[in-house]
Amino acid sequence: MKLVTYEAGEGPRVGVLGDGEVRDAGFDGDMVAFISAGASVDGRAKVVPGARLLAPLRPRSLRDFLAFEGHLQGAYRGLGRDIPAEWYEVPAYYKGMPDTVIGPEVEVPWPAYTDQLDHELELAAVIGRRVRDVAAADAEACIFGYTIWNDLSARDVQRREGPVGLGPGKAKDWDGSNVLGPCLVTADEFNAADARMAVRVNGEVWGESSTAEMHHSFADMIAYASQSQTLYPGEVIGSGTAAGGSGLELDRWLQPGDVVELEVEGIGVLRNTIGRKEK
């Protein structure tokens, strides 16, 4: 099932996407509440004319990992560094700001303080039930579904902040810096082990990858994050950038007006246009 959050003049609603149409799910609440309540869809759901897709959910939290070795090899090569040995053992992550999330077809804001805006092609898993101290063998059952995440980065700022060792700050945090969508596909209808991934800018393919290239699995990431900490429905776990999924690896940078399309097989295409730099 492909779930969406949509707007059709009466405020955000949960819907079901199919055959190019949005049907209302018959639920009075947002996507996180819908997941928490068991995600039951009214079988009498009607088609909603003129529905505009929003970000599929407003996450309770955003945790972004680094699961793709190929991306790190390309990124670290530009910095003249090797991948730290600890990366192969620890699925480390940083926490993003869920309130910055925007959805498909929305213009991406370009903050005034950066000259190097970059996209990041990621797969995101959404937690479906409350869990704590879960074993990796059981963690996959905690996933409700998957969506696409464009985790935008201000690369020049990231290079300045990185040596401090506190993780990304303003390199990641501004209004509109996280894009989710276009839908949330339930886990029973998505093969997270081997889904093709691609990024196109103005129709040109900039990178292609597959979830099969992930070194750390979502199960490993969830098990790590849940150590002595409760995870709740609606929390988002990001794969980190796929190999070839950013301009950083190519030394190619976005420009105002660029149309960025992130595609994951089985989910769809997350499309956004890059706005002009703020003054």
Strand (E) or helix (H) holding 101? strand 101-102
Residue 190 pLDDT more than 80?
yes
Peptide bond into 168 cis (omega under 30): no
pLDDT for 231 equals: 98
Q: Is 181 exposed, middle or buried (0-12, 13-18, 19+ CB in 10 A)?
A: buried
Return the minimum-mean-pLDDT range out of 114-118, 130-134, 161-165.
Answer: 161-165
Q: For residues 221 and 93, what is the distance between their CA atoms, to the nearest angstrom?
A: 9
pLDDT for 263 equals: 98
Residue 135 burial (CB count, 10 A): 10
Show the tokens assigned to 185: 């596909």
Domains defined along the chain, listed by start: 2-53 (no CATH), 61-277 (3.90.850.10)
Q: For residues 251 and 272, what is the distance between their CA atoms, to the nearest angstrom?
A: 21
Q: Is the pTM of this model over 0.95?
A: yes
DSSP state of 60: S
Residue 260 pLDDT more than 70?
yes
Given pLDDT bands bounded at 50, 70 and 90, which one contains residue 3? very high
Residues paired with 191 in a beta bridge: none
pLDDT for 197 equals: 98
| DSSP string computed for 201-229 | ETTEEEEEEEGGGBSS-HHHHHHHHTTTS
The per-residue pLDDT for range 150-162, each reduced to its tens digit, is 999 999 999 899 8
Distance of CA 259 to the CA centre of its chain: 17
Which carries the bigger pLDDT value, residue 166 or residue 278?
278
Task: Tell me the average pLDDT across 176-184.
Answer: 98
The per-residue pLDDT for range 46-76, each reduced to its tens digit, is 999 999 999 999 999 999 999 999 999 988 8
Given pLDDT bands bounded at 50, 70 and 90, which one contains residue 163? confident
DSSP state of 140: G
Residues paired with 7 in a beta bridge: 52
Task: Tell me the average pLDDT across 184-188.
Answer: 98
Residue 79 pLDDT more than 90?
no
Residue 240 pLDDT more than 80?
yes
Residue 205 pLDDT more than 90?
yes
Mean model confidence pLDDT for the chain? 95
pLDDT for 78 equals: 66
The per-residue pLDDT for range 32-46, each reduced to its tens digit, is 999 999 999 887 779
